[in-house]
Amino acid sequence: MTARSALPGSHAPTLDLGGRTALVTGAAGGIGRACALRLAAAGAKVRAVDRDAAGLEALAEQGRDLAGTVEAHVLDLTDLDDAERAAAGTDVLVNNAGLQLVCPIEEFPPDVFHTVLTVMLEAPFRLIRGALPHMYGQGWGRIVNVSSVHGLRASAYKSAYVAAKHGLEGLSKTAALEGAPHGVTSNCVNPAYVRTPLVEKQLADQARAHDIPEERVLAEVLLQDSALKRLIEPEEVAEAVAYLCGPHASFVTGTSLVLDGGWTAH
Ligand SMILES: NC(=O)c1ccc[n+]([C@@H]2O[C@H](COP(=O)([O-])OP(=O)(O)OC[C@H]3O[C@@H](n4cnc5c(N)ncnc54)[C@H](O)[C@@H]3O)[C@@H](O)[C@H]2O)c1
The predicted-structure confidence for 16-60, as pLDDT tens digits, reads as follows 999 999 999 999 999 999 999 999 999 999 999 999 999 999 999
pLDDT surpassing 60 at residue 206? yes
CA distances from 147 to 63, 141, 188 (A): 25, 19, 6
Share of the chain above pLDDT 90, in %: 91
pTM: predicted TM-score of the whole model, two decimal places: 0.95
pLDDT at 9 over 90: no
161 as an active site residue: the answer is yes
Question: 49 C-alpha to center of ligand 1: Å?
Answer: 12
Q: Which pLDDT score, from 0 to 100, does residue 157 have?
A: 96
pLDDT beyond 60 at 3 = no
Residue 151 in this model has a pLDDT that exceeds 60: yes
Question: What is the reported pLDDT for 11?
Answer: 64
Whose CA is closest to atom 43 on ligand 1?
Answer: 98
194 C-beta closer than 6 A to ligand 1? yes
pLDDT at 14: 82
Ligand 1 centroid – CA 66 distance (Å): 23
Tell me what the mean pLDDT of segment 205-228 comes to: 93
145 lines ligand 1 (CB under 6 A): no
Cα(5) to ligand 1 centroid in Å equals 37
- Mutation to probe ligand 1, out of 150, 195, 198 (largest number of atoms < 8 A from CB): 198
Ligand 1 and 148: CB distance under 6 A: yes
Q: Which pLDDT band, with edges at 50, 70 and 90, does 8 fall under?
A: low
Q: How sure is the predictor about 198, in pLDDT bands with cuts at 50, 70 and 90? A: confident
CA of 2 to the centre of ligand 1 (A): 43
196 lines ligand 1 (CB under 6 A): yes
Q: For atom 23 of ligand 1, which residue has the closest CA? A: 26
Q: What is the mean pLDDT of residues 123-144?
A: 99
Residue 12 scores a pLDDT above 70 = no
Is the model's pLDDT at 255 over the cut of 70? yes
Question: What are 153-182's pLDDT values in tens digits?
Answer: 999 999 999 999 999 999 999 999 999 999
pLDDT at 135 over 60: yes
Mean pLDDT of the chain: 95
Give the closest residue (by CA) to ligand 1 atom 6.
148
Ligand 1 atom index nearest CA of 115? 31
State percent of the chain over pLDDT 70: 95
Q: What single string gives the DSSP state of each residue in the chain?
A: --PPP--SSSSPPPP--TT-EEEEETTTSHHHHHHHHHHHHTT-EEEEEES-HHHHHHHHHHTTTSSSEEEEEE--TT-HHHHHHHTTT-SEEEE---------GGG--HHHHHHHHIIIIIHHHHHHHHHHHHHHHHT-EEEEEE--GGGTS--TT-HHHHHHHHHHHHHHHHHHHHHGGGTEEEEEEEESSBSSHHHHHHHHHHHHHHTS-GGGHIIIIITTT-SS-SPBPHHHHHHHHHHHHSGGGTT--S-EEEESTTGGG-
